[in-house]
Amino acid sequence: MRKEKIMTNFEKIIAQNRLKTNAVLATYCVIFAFIGLLVDVIRINANDLGTALFKLMTFQIFPTITIIMFLVAFIIIVVCIQNFSSIMLSGDEYKLIDSSKVLSSKENQIHRLLLELLEEAKLHFEPKLYIIKAPYMNAFASGWNESNSLIALTSALIERLDRDELKAVIAHELSHIRHNDIRLTMCVGILSNIMLLVANFSVYFFMGNRKNSGANLARMILLVLQIILPFLTLLLQMYLSRTREYMADSGAAFLMHDNKPMIRALQKISNDYKENDYKDTDTNSTRSAAYLFSTEMFSTHPSIKNRIQSLSRRVI
């Protein structure tokens, strides 16, 4: 009965998390479309902003720039999905743990830990496992879905964590995959970059002799968005990512039937970053939001203190 209750609560939290995810993605799409429509207003040199927006949204005037923006975003997302492994792993020496080949004792250990978790959770997929040769302790999961997902662990993490702590970290990343967080991280990261790029450059498009009041107002709004959007996208990412990290921590404790290994792993990783400056060591910024741990001032991750407090309150 107790196990069923825990499972029900766990599934309820996951459902709430997915609802928040869909809300944020919808917000991104609305903002993205609004930017495109503003550029279209400038393109047609509209006299009245409201009237022009209505005609563009009802296709009385074809929203050329808006449609192009969505097509370009779609193409970029498809390209990133097809090449996500090389994008996420670039900048470092890395190795795929291939169970069909001879493995070192450490490689064999982490592969067995993954298999244990998959069996215990009754999961019918196996993400690829990579070791990134790096002096810092971190990990991430990536991919579009379960069938093409990957989990990457740094060599320093593997060397400095004990067996249960390593298993907890793998369980954390596996939870991201189970919750479909990897797809979200990829989409949100791509949309944020495209949206900011378009907002920054679109204000200079179609400058020419367009001096009608509607077009000028649209240009002014775009200028304001240049200032607001970086903060808005950061807030949206923080809102999503912090929920995701708490969920993945909780998922790790759930799979391990113990919250202590995850707590110890977070403490060790945090202490390592406090004692060492890795700012110039990791040159791949594309995976910063996907990392288990982040040290950025405006990090999308919750603080280690809050994550440990949340884990400590969890009854296994």
Burial pattern 260-295, b for ≥16 Cβ within 10 A else e, equals ebbbbbbeebbebbeeeeeeeebeeebbbbbbbbbb
Q: Are 201 and 182 in contact (CB under 8 A)?
A: no
Confidence of residue 138 (pLDDT cuts 50, 70, 90): very high
pLDDT score for 87: 81
Given a cut of 90, whether residue 241 has pLDDT beyond it is no
Residue 131 β-bridge partners: 95, 153
Average pLDDT over every residue of 264-272:
93
The mean pLDDT value of the chain amounts to 83
- 276 band by pLDDT with thresholds 50, 70 and 90: confident
Q: What pLDDT digit, counting tens, does each position of 99-120 carry?
A: 888 888 889 999 999 999 999 9
Q: In the annotation, is 159 catalytic?
A: no
User: Sorting pLDDT into bands at 50, 70 and 90, what band is 296?
Assistant: low
pLDDT band at 314 (very low <50, low <70, confident <90, very high): low
Could you read off the pLDDT of 199-215 as tens digits, one per residue?
Answer: 777 766 655 555 688 88
- For 7, 55, 204, 315, the CA distances from 255, given in Å and listed in that order, are 11, 53, 52, 13
Q: Cα–Cα distance between 244 and 240 in angstroms, integer?
A: 6
In the predicted structure, residue 46 carries a pLDDT above the cut 60: yes
Q: Supply the pLDDT for residue 2.
A: 47
Of 236 and 316, the one with more pLDDT: 236
pLDDT given at position 137:
93
Tokens encoding 32: 């993205």
Select the more confidently predicted residue: 51 or 199: 51
The 3-class secondary structure across the chain, one letter per residue, is CHHHHHHHHHHHHHHHHHHHHHHHHHHHHHHHHHHHHHHHHHHCCCCCHHHHHHHHHCCCCCCHHHHHHHHHHHHHHHHHHHCHHHHHHCCCCEEECCCCCCCCHHHHHHHHHHHHHHHHCCCCCCCEEEEECCCCCCEEEECCCHHHCEEEEEHHHHHHCCHHHHHHHHHHHHHHHHCCHHHHHHHHHHHHHHHHHHHHHHCCCCCCCCCCHHHHHHHHHHHHHHHHHHHHHHHHHHHHHHHHHHHHHHHHHHHHCCCHHHHHHHHHHHHHHHHCCCCCCCCCHHHHHHECCCCCCCCCCCCHHHHHHHHHHCCC
Question: Which tens digits make up the pLDDT trace of 158-194?
Answer: 999 999 999 999 999 999 888 877 777 777 777 777 7
pLDDT of 236: 75
pLDDT at 297: 47
Whole-model pTM? 0.80
Instruction: Give me the catalytic one of 4, 119, 120, 173.
Output: 173
User: What proportion of the chain, given as a percentage, has pLDDT over 90?
Assistant: 32
Q: Which of 301, 29, 260, 6 is nearest to 138 (CA)?
A: 301
pLDDT for position 158: 95
How crowded is the C-beta side of 199, counted as CA atoms within 13 Å?
A: 24
**Percent residues over pLDDT 70 in the chain:** 88
Which residue would you say has higher pLDDT here, 8 or 29?
Answer: 29
pLDDT over threshold 50, residue 249: yes
Asked if the model's pLDDT at residue 257 lies above 50, the reply is yes
